[in-house]
Amino acid sequence: MTPELVNDPSTFPCEPPADLDDPDTIVGHDWRAFQEVEHMGDHWDRPGWSDQHRSYYWMLTFSEAPELLSLAKHCQKALQHLGMDPVPSDGLHVTMLRVGPTDQVSEDQVEQLIDLTQDLPVQAFRILAHPLAGSRGAVRFSLTPWRPMIHLHAALSTVGDQARIPGGSPTSAFRPHLGIAYNNQARPAAPVVDAVAPLRSLPPAALDITSVELVELRRQDRTYRWRTVHSAPLSPEVPLQASIPPK
């Protein structure tokens, strides 16, 4: 059973899409939410995130995804006149779940997390990264379908509870996305929305998700960098599904 998503004003979009599997529903929902944004804020204006701060996260990373990297570079080039901070090719990621600051998570807890994720009850899956939408602080790809990512988030949350780590947002507030450029100033959203709109006709990039990474995350030069602590495999028992829909 898929965990229920609920309206949550602390996340974006506040309301989840009506269908967690249908690409058109999810992509359309993300775009309408972005169109309703009036003002964008500085993504980096976040108390507690100094250059010295380190925190553990579960993430999906894409070191070997040439289709995604090419698509992201194309969109970043088209938006470079906005002066945003593009996410470098080796920095593209999907944040799955916060584990906790390194000074609040012990080495024993990290080892327990690694042990508990050796047999995650989640099968490998395929998602599509669709150009393009955004939020109050970034421009980002929409991801479809949501359901397998929600199941993965819930499984990681369960493991975190067992390891008694600080943890992050509940699965009910999870909104999957993949950022490609961070907004670095307060500005009206309308010019950004207008610049993004022509890119929405580009075809999506397919991403095969076979593992989830436990990383030690830091902020560096207006981007995120990380050290991979552990790569937890997903079950390969069922063939990967989903393909790019025909035009």
pLDDT tens digits for the chain (247 residues)? Answer: 789 999 999 999 999 999 999 999 999 999 999 999 999 999 999 877 777 899 999 999 998 899 999 999 999 999 999 999 999 999 999 999 999 999 999 999 999 999 999 999 999 999 999 999 999 999 999 999 999 999 999 999 999 999 999 999 999 999 999 999 999 999 999 999 999 999 999 999 999 999 999 999 999 989 999 999 999 999 985 444 444 444 4
Which tokens sit at 62? 């894409």
Residue 27 inside a domain? The answer is no
User: Does residue 19 belong to any structural domain of this protein?
Assistant: no
Q: Which domain holds residue 208?
A: 37-45+52-233
Work out the burial of residue 194: count CB atoms within 10 Å of its CB; fewer than 13 is exposed, 13-18 middle, 19 or more buried: exposed
CB 67 within 8 A of CB 97: no
Task: For residue 247, tell me if it sits in a domain.
Answer: no
Instruction: Kindly state whether residue 137 falls inside one of the protein's structural domains.
Output: yes
CATH number at residue 41: 3.90.1140.10
Question: Hey, what are 10's tokens?
Answer: 């602390």
The domain total for the chain is: 1
pTM given for the model: 0.93
Domain contains 225: yes
Q: Quick check: is 9 in a domain?
A: no
Separation in Å, CA 14 to CA 37, 136, 139, 172, 181: 12, 12, 17, 11, 21
